[in-house]
Amino acid sequence: MKKTIALFYKNLFLTNRLFTALGVCVVLFVLAFFFQWLGVIPELTFYALAMLVFIDILMLYRTADGVFSRRHAPERLSNSDDNDLGVYIENRYTFKINVGIIDEIPFQFQKRDVWFKTVLTPGQRKQINYVLRPTKRGEYAFGLIRVFVKSPIGMVRRRYNFGPAETLPVYPSFLQMRKYELMAISNHLTDIGIKQIRRLGHSLEFEQVKNYVQGDDYRTINWKATARRGDLMTNTYTDEKSQHVYCVIEKSRAMKMPFDGLSLLDYAINASLVLSNVALLKEDKAGLITIAEKIGAIVPADRRATQINKILEVLYREKTAYRETNMELLYTTIRSVIKQRSLVVFFTNYESFSSMERQLPFLKRIAKFHLLLVVFFENTELKKLNESPAADVEGIYIKTIADKFAYDKKRIVKELAKHNIQSILSAPQNLTINTINRYLELKARQRI
């Protein structure tokens, strides 16, 4: 019974489409008589055009599913990265068709020219690939795929709609995280500008006794093992493990400033995700704290297999607040949550020396118990102003102000160093590399 009802509705649908096509043809013939009566177009030409349109409509509408299309998209998109998407298209007509495709991408991209054109022979399948680069975290709603088909006659164009509409989440840059993860596993971090740090002394983590090979440090020779074996034997050491690395992200209005379409908060989030993953690969424990006027999220340091996914989910939901950061609350939270000496990487932004001075008393307190690394941003727009020559008096004033702000940034670095606080002044696009660099350096120098 159900199959009979379905077949009836299918036939009714096809009949309705056929009647629509015939109705269009009737309208065309009426217009033909009307224009002939007016004497605008010769009778024979008009009838020929009407006949071509009629044949074109029959060719396109006699098949209910002449084409098929679907969107190929990942389960989630990576923020600030080029994400590969695609539209699959298949020709089910018995003749060659010209196809135009509109993929209704989310409004956040503000693109109105996503139009793909292609030609398909009978039975041909094709994948059309394109790239999207989101600059904000959150949910992105994709609409339908609109396919416009023309036959070889080309007088009529038929539209197909394919769905369903779907919503994809945009997470912090997990593509960047995977790239650094592969490089850390294969020890190729130096290929992307991460410098090699000379190890000072030995770590306390003994690994094994092995045969001496040329180039080993003489100070590591194990004389007792050498006497027993009759060959030179050396001790080997490994980096200390299970050290705690906490990323503390400030979410105040200072982190709302955009650069290349991405807010400073998102740059800090991406760098925190990559640093946490590298720390886990180095068998350290990674944790996270976010702060504005209130504590946002706390992920205690751990090195379980699920830790990086837990951090990723927390960072996905973080948003900028518009009040000053409560540094006293941050200090008390760090004292209560972090029980052993750890590396605390504090992502913030200072636009003036006075803004740092307000936080300095609390930074000094944190630095008494932990190795504190303050990461803040270089204003690249001011740097461009400094490098460009002044054309008039107004330009001189602007350049002078820009110089003052740039000088304040350098003063902040020196002032933090006076109080034994590590710091990184980085351009936003280099933040991840510079942060990982400093983490590896501090680990190699056994500062943690």
pLDDT digits (tens, 9 = 90+) for 199-218: 444 455 556 777 877 767 77
Q: Using CA atoms, how far apart are residues 187 and 185, in angstroms rounded to an integer?
A: 6
Instruction: Say how many C-beta atoms besides its own lie within 10 A of residue 356's C-beta.
Output: 22
Element (DSSP H or E) covering residue 372: strand 371-377
Q: Using CA atoms, how far apart are residues 242 and 253, in angstroms rounded to an integer?
A: 34
Identify the pLDDT of residue 12: 39
Instruction: Say how many C-beta atoms besides its own lie within 10 A of residue 71's C-beta.
Output: 20
The amino acid at residue 269 is I
Q: Using CA atoms, how far apart are residues 429 and 330, in angstroms rounded to an integer?
A: 27
Q: Using CA atoms, how far apart are residues 382 and 428, in angstroms rounded to an integer?
A: 13
Quick one: pLDDT band at residue 9, thresholds 50, 70, 90?
A: very low
Q: Using CA atoms, how far apart are residues 57 and 54, in angstroms rounded to an integer?
A: 5
Strand extents, DSSP E, 143-284? 145-150, 157-162, 166-171, 205-211, 233-238, 244-250, 258-259, 262-263
Rg (CA), the chain: 33
Is a pLDDT exceeding 90 seen at residue 123? yes
Identify the pLDDT of residue 283: 87
Q: Using CA atoms, how far apart are residues 346 and 268, in angstroms rounded to an integer?
A: 10
Quick one: pLDDT band at residue 44, thresholds 50, 70, 90?
A: low
186-190, 429-433, 441-445: which has the minimum mean pLDDT? Answer: 186-190
Is a pLDDT exceeding 50 seen at residue 319? yes
Token pair listed for 166: 């779907």
- Pairing mode, strands 233-238 and 205-211: antiparallel
pLDDT tens column, 56-110: 889 999 888 999 999 999 999 999 999 999 999 999 999 999 999 999 999 999 8
Is the Cβ–Cβ distance between 342 and 370 less than 8 Å? yes
Is a pLDDT exceeding 80 seen at residue 380? no
17-21, 34-38, 118-122, 368-372: which has the minimum mean pLDDT? Answer: 17-21
Mean pLDDT for 388-408 is: 77
Percent of residues, the chain, with pLDDT higher than 90: 54
- Taken as a whole, the chain contains a residue count of 448
Q: Closest by alpha carbon to 429, among 255, 260, 242? A: 260
Is the Cβ–Cβ distance between 248 and 326 less than 8 Å? no
Q: Using CA atoms, how far apart are residues 140 and 74, in angstroms rounded to an integer?
A: 12
Of 64-73, 110-119, 388-397, highest mean pLDDT: 64-73
Mean pLDDT for 362-372 is: 95
> What domains appear along the chain, each with residue ranges and CATH number?
2-61 (no CATH), 67-171 (2.60.40.10), 174-197+240-444 (3.40.50.410), 207-238 (no CATH)
CA distances to 217, 237, 238 from 212, rounded to whole Å, are 9, 14, 16
Is the Cβ–Cβ distance between 28 and 53 less than 8 Å? yes
Q: In Å, how far from its chain's centre is CA 347?
A: 18
pLDDT tens column, 244-300: 999 999 999 889 888 888 999 999 999 999 999 999 988 899 999 999 999 999 999
pLDDT tens column, 46-55: 677 778 888 8
Q: Using CA atoms, how far apart are residues 102 and 88, in angstroms rounded to an integer?
A: 12
Strand partners, 78: 171
